[in-house]
Amino acid sequence: MKLMMVIPCYNEELVLHETTRQLTLVLNDLQSRKQMDAWEILYVDDGSKDATWSIIDSQHSSDPRIRGIKLAHNAGHQFALWAGYEYAVDKADAVISMDADLQHDINSIGDMLTQYHAGYDVVYGVRNDRATDGWLKKQTALGFYRLMQGMGVDVIMNHADYRLLSKRALKALVSYPERNIFIRGMVRTLGFKEIEVRFDVKERLAGDSKYTLRKMLNFAIDGITSFSVQPLRIISGMGVLIVVLSICAAIYVLVSYFTGHIVAGWASMLLSLWFIGGVQLICIGVLGEYVGKIYKEVKRRPRYIIEETI
């Protein structure tokens, strides 16, 4: 069988040489132990501004098993990964996706291949803990997964995009037509035989994480609105609750009026107006997220544009 590693890159010039060196050693060892017959590494340059593409080009000249796709602009991690998946679907029997910073334990590749040969089509790489994360990063990451699960999105806790997909699982995945993609959730809908492989996360080799708090929040919003209507149901529940509270308030006002205990004042009125106004703005914002996604889907623009392939 032939294995292809799919690795999205964005401004990763500081790590690419070491990533390729370590991966080559591991993959050659696995090949010598007959866990696969051949392998390739596919780097997807997501519109990097540094020397990432020139490094990929140079590495391909030294070893043709190193391949590259250069996107014309920064399409985002999920689209870059999707571009790699679409490229690899007819060129490999199995695909493993991972990040370029070597935080994913590449020694777990052998465990993933073992599960693949045991008949599993989807193998999730799941980190054991978040000991390498700072307090803020740890809390925001855990909050991300809890929020997703709370909103009804089927995701695996502490699994990012380190996974193995068999050829038939990958073919099924890339057949999905939507433009608003959340791959972690999409893979869970395939229905093929799946299993988890645990690994310890390493310190980032060099550079800074590309997932800022703002990007993580945007990622969570995209995932929730792409895979769940729970926010819309919450809005309906809020509407019912506000109606019930309004009826209770009306009864209180009528009782106060007929018993002669009405106290003139503007504070309660002002607070209620602010509350109702805030709820309405939140509801409009949530509805706008869904309408915006429909707008993107209707336009049917390409997910990404490839500038060059090596």
Please tell me whether residues 82 and 168 are part of one structural domain. Answer: yes
pLDDT value, residue 297 = 77
Residue 19 has pLDDT above 70, yes or no: yes
pLDDT value, residue 266 = 47
Residue 220 forms part of a structural domain = no
pLDDT value, residue 123 = 98
Rounded mean pLDDT of 235-251?
72
Burial 29-66 (b: 16+ CB within 10 A, else e): ebeeeebbeebbbbbbbbbbeeebbebbbebbeeeebb
* Residue 97 DSSP SS3: strand
Residue 169 forms part of a structural domain = yes
Residue 225 forms part of a structural domain = no
Q: Which residues pair with 94 in a beta bridge?
A: 3, 166
CATH code of the domain containing 131: 3.90.550.10
**Is residue 235 very low, low, confident or very high in pLDDT (cuts 50, 70, 90)?**
confident
Rounded mean pLDDT of 81-86?
97
The C-alpha angle with vertex 73 and arms to 226 and 175, in degrees rounded to 5, equals: 40
Please tell me whether residues 114 and 203 are part of one structural domain. Answer: yes
pLDDT value, residue 281 = 74
With contact defined as beta carbons under 8 Å apart, do 26 and 113 qualify? no
Residue 223 forms part of a structural domain = no
Pairing of strands 66-71, 306-309: antiparallel
Please tell me whether residues 115 and 208 are part of one structural domain. Answer: yes
With contact defined as beta carbons under 8 Å apart, do 38 and 116 qualify? no
Rounded mean pLDDT of 79-104?
95
Please tell me whether residues 119 and 87 are part of one structural domain. Answer: yes
Query: Using CA of residue 19, residue 207, residue 138, residue 150, what is the dihedral sign?
Result: negative
**Is residue 251 very low, low, confident or very high in pLDDT (cuts 50, 70, 90)?**
confident
Please tell me whether residues 152 and 119 are part of one structural domain. Answer: yes
pLDDT value, residue 215 = 65
Of 190, 181, 26, give the one whose Cα is nearest residue 98: 26
Residue 119 forms part of a structural domain = yes
pLDDT value, residue 14 = 92
- Residues in Cβ contact with 211 at an 8 Å cutoff, skipping those fewer than 6 apart: 219
pLDDT in tens, 192-219: 999 999 998 877 666 566 556 566 666 6
Residue 92 has pLDDT above 70, yes or no: yes
The mean pLDDT value of the chain amounts to 84
pLDDT value, residue 310 = 93
Report the domain count for the chain.
2
Tokens matching residue 296: 């993107």
Residue 217 forms part of a structural domain = no
Give the chain's end-to-end CA distance (angstroms, integer): 22
Please tell me whether residues 236 and 189 are part of one structural domain. Answer: no
**Is residue 179 very low, low, confident or very high in pLDDT (cuts 50, 70, 90)?**
confident
pLDDT value, residue 270 = 52
Please tell me whether residues 138 and 269 are part of one structural domain. Answer: no
Cα(304)–Cα(9) distance, integer angstroms: 14
Secondary structure string (H, E, C) spanning 46-81: CCCCCCHHHHHHHHHHHCCCEEEEEECCCCCHHHHH
11: left (phi over 0), alpha (psi -120 to 50) or beta: left
Please tell me whether residues 181 and 241 are part of one structural domain. Answer: no
Please tell me whether residues 166 and 290 are part of one structural domain. Answer: no
Please tell me whether residues 40 and 182 are part of one structural domain. Answer: yes
Rounded mean pLDDT of 44-50?
95
pLDDT value, residue 136 = 64
Task: Determine the structural domain holding residue 159 and report its residue range.
Answer: 2-212+302-309
Please tell me whether residues 78 and 111 are part of one structural domain. Answer: yes
Please tell me whether residues 139 and 270 are part of one structural domain. Answer: no
Where is average pLDDT lowest: 73-87, 202-216, 248-262? 202-216
Residue 60 forms part of a structural domain = yes
Radius of gyration of the chain (CA): 25
Tokens matching residue 213: 């708090």
Residue 240 forms part of a structural domain = yes
Alpha carbon separation from 95 to 14, 50, 119, 236 (Å, rounded):
25, 27, 15, 42
